[in-house]
Chains A and B, each alone.
Chain A
Amino acid sequence: MNLTRRSVTAGLVAGVAMPAVLRSALGQSAPIRIGMVLPVTGPAADSGKYALTGANIALDRVNKAGGVLSRQVELVTEDDQTTNPGAVLAFSKLAAQSDIVAFLGSIRSTQNHAMAPDILKTAKPVCFGGTDPALTKLGNPWLFRFRPNDSYSGRVIAQYGVETLGKKNWAVVHSTDAFGTGGAKALSASLDKAGAKIAIDQGYPNQSQDFTPVVLAIKSSGADVIGSYFTFDNDLAIFARQLRQLGVTIPWVGSASITVAGAVKLAGSALYGTYGVADYAVDASPESKEFAKLYGAVSNVPPDNYSSWTYDAIGVLCAAIAKAGDTDPDKVRAAILATQGYKGAEGEYNFDQFGDGLHGYNIVRNEKGLIVFDKHIEFTD
């Protein structure tokens, strides 16, 4: 074969152009990829497992129904090691993959804060579960929250404790991370509005091995009810056990972490009779019941908010991509913001201009280890 200048040039052009042509042709049938940052290692590794299960149940449903835009949807996961640097690194690894169209971030506010600058640079939608109200007020248009934020949880805890339980002298116990301080601030503001008094506001560092000083401080404060924002199940369980051992029996209304399966199992009877705000409660709606059924088929642990928010996030995200008719980030973003009346496992999603999808909470009670739905409180303001 004679090599001429023309044939070499044609070969080079074909060689350079072929990947793009192939990519374009295959792009129509290649799966839509969604990145997910989750803890596989570190103190919250168990919650990562639940989150992945919830997301996979939703993906399975979507793919069995024919996928989105006639393409299957797949998850690409990275371990955040339950740390902020780990979350940033995990997100960077995912963001470097240009075919990922959107992401699932963390349920931990502090990690979402850490990732936020990179999310802004990446300019693709990130669905997250952290409940610090500030996260959707950062001016970052790519953040979408799939749990009610703590301005709602604070209001519900305060409302339930003050109006239903009739308690007006509060002990507020919270983690000193972004989630805990944000939640405590929201609760304190709501209690102030409700005319209740804060007898003690007690922060603690995550992974504390002993809560004796906290319990003794609550005891001597004269508080008649506890409101709490715990980040990790084991901290909550150690606190609960020491609280009961040292004879503190006042009512306790906690943030969603008091209702999750891990904490309920670890603390056992120490959490009996406590109340919690829960974005997910099995009996809250037909959709939450359906999720419980699907989850029960693949897991021997009861579903909780670790799995329900990722289940809803995948559902809303896929519906938004289908509605946008494209995976273009701006179009998907607009479609998520336009989502109204989507009935998920956690409730009805009505996105506001800031990217908050849910605006209310369920109140549940721990009845001898079973999380029992009491009522749902929805806010319109």
Chain B
Amino acid sequence: MGSVLQLLFTGLGIGAVYALVALGFVLIFRATNVVNFAQGEFSMVAAYLMVVFAVDLGWPYWLSFLLSLGGMAVLGAIFNLGVYYPLRNRTFLPVIISTIGASIFLANTVLALYGPQPQVLPGWFDTPGIQLGQVYLDSQYLIIIAVTVLLVAFQYWFFEHTLLGKKLQATSQDKEMAALLGIPVATMIMITFVYSAVLGGIAGILVAPVLFVSIQMGSTIALKAFAATIIGGFGDVAGAIVGGLALGIIETFGAAYISVPFKDAFAFLVLILFLAFRPQGLFGERVAEKA
């Protein structure tokens, strides 16, 4: 029983990271109808910013965290202006290719600036974890799960109970109608990119003490988060959360009870099954039904 609970806890922790990155995918997809393949690199850049502020400069952790997220907000805005905005009237393909190019650019820029050595980022707490009966609770995973819950609650409140959130929703549902209603669509999309970059950044900073800070950390997480997004239903916020958590649990239990070498395969097997039998995902609507 101890092993099952241990696996469940770890699976939830890993899944929560996938869910946070998946949320960024979903928000941008809803606002722009394109997939941002640089979402994983947002996580990586934020983790490196944290290393610069908290480790290299030795600034307080909370200040470093805020500065890193501020940096991510700026990056999100630049990303919108440089990668999405010039191609906003084109089909989705050039935009997707543009985001792939941006992800390669970001990874290689960090590589050139910081070098290839993986870095260590300390966790939030000095205590690495607590032993609860037969289960060891890694303090960083506890924080990851707690922050994910808080962010989901914040997101629900923000989108459902604030005017700005409703404007963002209106923009994501129908840009032309939103513009006719006087909503500044370009600004709303800018805010979406900024928020997604910050979300990706939070995921990166949270997971960095567990997985270490490296150039490829973003792409590793993003691939799974992308699968989680499809499983949950592309474009659905609740789907991204459930998809991410489910994926984390499935791959952890699959590795423990079936095969460790095929751990990654379980995630993608589930993805293929969804694409074959329920392409709209867990929470998505059929496109035909929308029409």
* CB atoms of A245 and B117 under 8 A apart: no
Residue of B at shortest CB range from A214? B260
* CB atoms of B212 and A45 under 8 A apart: no
* CB atoms of B263 and A245 under 8 A apart: no
* CB atoms of B260 and A266 under 8 A apart: no
A220 CB contacts on chain B under 8 angstroms: 3
User: CB < 8 Å: which of B118, B136, B138, B255 contacts A46?
Assistant: B118
Is A221 close to B, CB under 8 A?
no
* CB atoms of A46 and B116 under 8 A apart: yes
A204 and B108 alpha carbons, distance in the complex (Å):
28
* CB atoms of B6 and A268 under 8 A apart: no
Contact-size category for B: 20 to 34
Is A49 close to B, CB under 8 A?
yes
B221 CB contacts on chain A under 8 angstroms: 209
Is B214 close to A, CB under 8 A?
yes
Binary per-residue interface labels of chain B (94-112) against chain A in the complex, 1 for a CB within 8 Å, 0 otherwise = 0000000000000110010
B16 CB contacts on chain A under 8 angstroms: none
* CB atoms of A238 and B210 under 8 A apart: yes
B138 CB contacts on chain A under 8 angstroms: 245
B210 CB contacts on chain A under 8 angstroms: 209, 238
Which chain A residues (306-344) contact chain B, with CB distance < 8 Å?
A: none
A202 and B264 alpha carbons, distance in the complex (Å):
15
* CB atoms of A213 and B120 under 8 A apart: no
Is B187 close to A, CB under 8 A?
no
A238 CB contacts on chain B under 8 angstroms: 210-212
Is A10 close to B, CB under 8 A?
no
Residue of B at shortest CB range from A44? B116
Residue of B at shortest CB range from A202? B260
Residue of B at shortest CB range from A45? B116
* CB atoms of B136 and A246 under 8 A apart: yes
* CB atoms of A266 and B116 under 8 A apart: no
Whether A245 contacts B136 in the complex (CB less than 8 A), given A41-B111, A207-B220, A213-B252, comes out as yes
Is A216 close to B, CB under 8 A?
yes
A217 and B255 alpha carbons, distance in the complex (Å):
10
A204 and B10 alpha carbons, distance in the complex (Å):
17
* CB atoms of A209 and B118 under 8 A apart: no
* CB atoms of B129 and A245 under 8 A apart: yes
Is A55 close to B, CB under 8 A?
no
Whether A49 contacts B117 in the complex (CB less than 8 A), given A207-B220, A216-B3, A245-B129, comes out as yes
* CB atoms of A212 and B10 under 8 A apart: yes
User: CB < 8 Å: which of B10, B108, B111, B115 contacts A210?
Assistant: B10
A247 and B211 alpha carbons, distance in the complex (Å):
19
Is B173 close to A, CB under 8 A?
no
A247 and B216 alpha carbons, distance in the complex (Å):
29
Whether A205 contacts B263 in the complex (CB less than 8 A), given A41-B111, A212-B6, A266-B212, comes out as yes
Binary per-residue interface labels of chain A (173-204) against chain B in the complex, 1 for a CB within 8 Å, 0 otherwise = 00010000000000000000000000000111
A216 CB contacts on chain B under 8 angstroms: 3, 6-7, 256
* CB atoms of A237 and B3 under 8 A apart: no
CB distance from B124 to the nearest CB of A (A): 16
B86 CB contacts on chain A under 8 angstroms: none
Is B14 close to A, CB under 8 A?
yes
User: CB < 8 Å: which of B115, B120, B262 contacts A49?
Assistant: B115
Is A251 close to B, CB under 8 A?
no
CB distance from A232 to the nearest CB of B (A): 9
User: CB < 8 Å: which of B117, B216, B256 contacts A213?
Assistant: B256
CB distance from B13 to the nearest CB of A (A): 8
A74 and B282 alpha carbons, distance in the complex (Å):
58
Binary per-residue interface labels of chain B (214-241) against chain A in the complex, 1 for a CB within 8 Å, 0 otherwise = 1110001100000000000000000000
A337 and B256 alpha carbons, distance in the complex (Å):
47
Which chain A residues (70-127) contact chain B, with CB distance < 8 Å?
A: none
Is B60 close to A, CB under 8 A?
no
* CB atoms of B136 and A247 under 8 A apart: yes
A202 CB contacts on chain B under 8 angstroms: 260
Residue of B at shortest CB range from A237? B212
Is A43 close to B, CB under 8 A?
yes
Is B128 close to A, CB under 8 A?
yes
A99 and B136 alpha carbons, distance in the complex (Å):
59
User: CB < 8 Å: which of A48, A204, A245 contacts B116?
Assistant: A48
CB distance from B261 to the nearest CB of A (A): 5
Is A28 close to B, CB under 8 A?
no
User: CB < 8 Å: which of A204, A207, A265 contacts B260?
Assistant: A204
* CB atoms of A234 and B263 under 8 A apart: no
A301 CB contacts on chain B under 8 angstroms: 117
A237 and B260 alpha carbons, distance in the complex (Å):
18
B116 CB contacts on chain A under 8 angstroms: 39-41, 45-46, 48-49
* CB atoms of A42 and B136 under 8 A apart: no
What residues of chain B have their CB less than 8 Å away from a CB belonging to chain A? 3, 6-7, 10, 14, 107-108, 111, 115-118, 120, 128-129, 136, 138, 210-212, 214-216, 220-221, 252, 255-256, 260-264
14 contacting pairs across A/B (C-beta < 8 A):
A40-B116, A42-B215, A43-B214, A49-B115, A203-B261, A205-B262, A210-B14, A212-B7, A213-B256, A214-B255, A216-B7, A237-B212, A245-B128, A245-B129
What residues of chain A have their CB less than 8 Å away from a CB belonging to chain B? 39-43, 45-46, 48-49, 176, 202-205, 207-210, 212-214, 216-217, 220, 233-234, 237-238, 245-247, 262, 265-266, 268, 301
Closest 10 CB pairs of A and B: A45-B116, A213-B256, A213-B255, A46-B117, A46-B116, A212-B10, A203-B261, A176-B261, A43-B216, A216-B3
Beyond A41-B215, A49-B115, A238-B212, 12 additional pairs, beta carbon < 8 A: A41-B108, A42-B215, A45-B111, A46-B116, A46-B117, A49-B116, A209-B220, A209-B221, A210-B255, A234-B118, A247-B136, A266-B118
